[in-house]
Structure 1
Amino acid sequence: MNQNRISILLVDDHEVVRAGFRILLLSQPFIGEIKEVNRGELVAQEYERLQPDVVVMDLSMPGIGGLETIRRLYRQAPKAVILVYSFHDEPVYVERALQAGAKGYVSKNSAAEVLAEAVRTVAQGKRYIEQALLPEICDVRHRDIECYREVVDLLSPREFDVFCRLAGGMTVHEAARDLCLGYKTVANYNTKIKSKLKVNTAAELANIAVILGVIKP
């Protein structure tokens, strides 16, 4: 990033939409130069020429479309930082964009500040998925370690403490005693944790914890 200002390649086939994004992004002090492209076929070429810090792109475009654009750019430049900003908030689109090489995904229905924060986050080398999308895309049946990490990040510090103990084999009573909390309090945490992780049993909690390396198998 040049002088801590993030340069962006904005990819969308609608000129009015690009203009709106430009205004939104340039209102942030950490955003630098913004270049625009109106179709996916030009992205790899323009990325090579401009070397932007972040590529912000839609998925619904004529021609090769957004997902294929991501795949082609990722194959050409594996270090490219791609953030999807799309009206598609269905799980299948989020999953496929991430699998293709995107580092983040934000819905166009989100607040303006969410996009700005997403840009800054992915520019720092981190993954960013809008929180509202996480419970939907991270069904534990997918057995996706990155997905598990994203969901576990939604746990509060205390919820994570309870998660680790229950996943490690403690009963609710034992976890309550170990954490110096009431049984009902830990039972409530247990319910919230299972709801967030979309599981029903302690065995499923243990499986997630093993995959994440929180506990040893």
Structure 2
Amino acid sequence: MNSKIKVLLVDDHAVVRAGFKLLLATSPNIEVIAEAECGEQAIQLYQSCQPDIIVLDLSMPGIGGLETIKRLVQRDEKVNILVFSIHDEQVYVNRALNAGAKGYITKNSAPEILSDAIEGIQNGQRYVEHGLLNKITDEVSEHDFQAIAQTFSAREFDVFRLLAKGLTAHKIADELCLGYKTVANYVTQIKKKLQVSSIAELAHIAILLGIIKH
């Protein structure tokens, strides 16, 4: 039998953490092993408790959520972070995902979304709540994305797929045995073709095309 997914809850409101903990207690596959009220404490607990996933708010005292994500990723590039925030504006979603979060859901989402997101990320998927990344562009449709993807070279498609899965350009270079500058050039070309500016938008297109799972 598989062990439970170990979760570290990070939110500056004790009552909110208590609510999350009760909610997750209904899932037989998830266990909250530690709680933190700020980013600095979360970083310390991540080192000592080694959770599978960190469920993190963005609006916290101290260094704040985004800086916490960056510092955790610097310490462990494989860290699994799920943002659980009141903010549903796209700028927050993009910044969190670009900083290294593996998922983003809002506190207004249905209760079961939290456990679904945790289990999805644990299984290697990115998880962004439906509707948060729908405003990519009004000019380009899903059919246009399909057509554009068909024009990718084999290398461009490989880079596109790995970017959408959350790998950095340096990691893609290692995996594909390419130079970093070569990969960076591919990234620029891919973004230009798809008319996007962020990895979050690119990942959403990959989800639309079925290249990665939501």
Q: The TM-score by the shorter chain falls in which range?
A: 0.5 to 0.7
2:43 maps to 1:27: no
In structure 1, the partner of 2:61 is 62
- Contact residue 70 and residue 101 of structure 1 kept, 8 A: yes
Point out the structure with max Rg over C-alpha: 1
The two structures have a TM-score, normalised by structure 2, of 0.67
What amino acid does structure 2 have at the position aligned with 1:84? V
C-alpha distance in structure 1 between counterparts of 2:49 and 2:55, whole Å: 14
C-alpha distance in structure 2 between counterparts of 1:123 and 1:24, whole Å: 18
What amino acid does structure 2 have at the position aligned with 1:98? L
RMSD: 2.0
> Following TM superposition, by how much is the alpha carbon of 1:146 offset from its aligned partner in structure 2, in angstroms?
5.6
User: Which structure carries more relative contact order (alpha carbon 8 Å, separation 6+)?
Assistant: 2
> Following TM superposition, by how much is the alpha carbon of 1:148 offset from its aligned partner in structure 2, in angstroms?
3.5
Q: What stretches of structure 1 move > 3 A for 4+ residues in a row? A: 138-141, 143-146
Q: 1:56 to 1:145 in 2, by over 3 A?
A: closer
Q: 1:107 to 1:5 in 2, by over 3 A?
A: same
Gaps of 5+ in 2: 138-193
C-alpha distance in structure 2 between counterparts of 1:149 and 1:33, whole Å: 29
Q: Percent same amino acid at aligned positions?
A: 50
C-alpha distance in structure 2 between counterparts of 1:86 and 1:57, whole Å: 8
In structure 2, the partner of 1:147 is 201
> Following TM superposition, by how much is the alpha carbon of 1:134 offset from its aligned partner in structure 2, in angstroms?
1.9
C-alpha distance in structure 1 between counterparts of 2:200 and 2:6, whole Å: 27
C-alpha distance in structure 2 between counterparts of 1:9 and 1:152, whole Å: 29
> Following TM superposition, by how much is the alpha carbon of 1:151 offset from its aligned partner in structure 2, in angstroms?
3.4
Higher helix share: 1
What secondary structure does 2:134 align onto? helix
Q: 1:149 to 1:39 in 2, by over 3 A?
A: closer
Aligned residues: 155
Q: 1:149 to 1:71 in 2, by over 3 A?
A: closer
Q: 1:48 to 1:34 in 2, by over 3 A?
A: same
Gaps of 5+ in 1: 161-211, 213-217
> Following TM superposition, by how much is the alpha carbon of 1:142 offset from its aligned partner in structure 2, in angstroms?
2.0
- Contact residue 11 and residue 58 of structure 1 kept, 8 A: yes
C-alpha distance in structure 2 between counterparts of 1:87 and 1:50, whole Å: 26
- Contact residue 54 and residue 123 of structure 1 kept, 8 A: yes
